[in-house]
Amino acid sequence: MATQQTRVLARVAVAPSVIMLFIWMIVPLVLTIYYSLNNYTLDDPTNFYWNSFGNYTYFLTDPTFFKSLGVSLLIVGSVLAITIVGGILIALLMDQPFAGQGIVRLMVLAPFFVMPTVAALIWKNLFMNADGGMLTWVSQVLHLPVVVWFTNWPLLSIIIIVAWQWLPFATLILLTAIQSLDEEQKEASQLDGAKPLSYFFYIVLPHLSRAITVVILIETIFLLNIFAEIKVTTNGSLNTANLPFLVYLTEAGDHDIGAASAGALVAVVLANIVAFFLVRMIGKNLEA
């Protein structure tokens, strides 16, 4: 049992790390709050004055804010639907014994380890390139019209790229959950003559509910911060700018540090609200 002296020594030992971590987090946050309450633009840095909540009003009343928020929600909802449905189907297939199972699992999980910028460049230049991409070649072989993806379907193209990156993560979590299914339940369902669909909907799917909740929680937190895929492919044009990209455009395009800081804090607050409700949802699910 730890004595009072060892507890004090332990706290003293970890204090430098905790203090450094606190400074690392609190200084950028304080500066962001400070700039968000002041008028500060890079085009005229001398015109610096207290603006109260003017930057927040400007950002929240900007029509592009609601468009960007809608794009963020659409990306999150679409990618979640694709990764959960696709993850369940792939996990069910990968759970079956077949030759080369280990290699197939490694290949399925590989996209998750590709950096977002690299993934976007691969899809933009190798798959969705209208001049010589693989999808163009497939369309020509099948005598189908060639699709200029980032012009005709820009947001769908981004959703496909992001879903391709996150599908392995969902598959891994769901496959682990399927493999933890009780063998006695499987045998009992087989003895009772349960059909494949009944087995899936009444045994497998309820068992996956917690894993699905975990996938939704983790993916949502990261999907709200999608940036590289949009920057590399469309650069925010054609109504593909989400909330983080709108903050970037406010700073890089308009050079308005005050409004960009306010937008960043708004994005953080919205993300924390979503995370709060998701954590509560997953907590109730785990208690059930």
pLDDT at 1: 46
Q: Which of 73, 69, 120 is nearest to 220 (CA)?
A: 73
pLDDT at 288: 58
Helices (H), 95-153: 101-109, 116-122, 134-141, 149-152
pLDDT at 188: 77
State the DSSP code for 194. Answer: -
What are the per-10-residue average pLDDT scores of the chain (288 residues)? 73 88 90 94 90 91 92 95 95 84 82 91 93 90 92 95 95 91 76 79 87 91 93 93 94 90 92 82 65
For 41, phi and psi rounded to 5 degrees?
-125, 145
Is there a contact between 165 and 82 (Cβ–Cβ < 8 Å)? no
Which residues lie across from 49 on neighbouring strands?
39
State the DSSP code for 38. Answer: E
pLDDT at 79: 96
- The contacts of residue 144 (CB under 8 Å, 6+ apart) are 138
Q: How many whole angstroms from its chain centre is CA 179?
A: 25
What would the DSSP string read from start to end of 82-100?
HHHHHHHHHHHHHTS--TT
Residue at token pair 């540090």: 257
Domain with residue 268: its CATH number is 1.10.3720.10
Helix/strand number for the chain, H first, E second = 15, 2
C-alpha span between 62 and 46 (Å, rounded): 25
Q: Which of 219, 222, 253, 223 is nearest to 235 (CA)?
A: 253
- The contacts of residue 7 (CB under 8 Å, 6+ apart) are none
C-alpha span between 146 and 136 (Å, rounded): 6
Q: Which of 159, 152, 278 is nearest to 213 (CA)?
A: 278
pLDDT at 99: 79
Q: What is the tens place of the pLDDT at every residue in 103-132?
A: 888 888 888 889 999 999 999 999 999 888
Is there a contact between 84 and 215 (Cβ–Cβ < 8 Å)? yes
* Tally of structural domains, the chain: 1
Domain residues for the domain of 181 are: 2-284
Q: Which one-letter amino acid corresponds to residue 110?
A: A
C-alpha span between 33 and 46 (Å, rounded): 19
**Contacts by residues 141-149 (CB-CB < 8 Å, ≥ 24 positions apart):** none
Q: Classify residue 258 by burial, with Cβ atoms within 10 Å: 0-12, 13-18, 19+.
A: buried
- The contacts of residue 218 (CB under 8 Å, 6+ apart) are 169
Structure tokens at 203: 């045994």
What pTM, to 2 d.p., does this model score? 0.88
Is there a contact between 59 and 259 (Cβ–Cβ < 8 Å)? yes
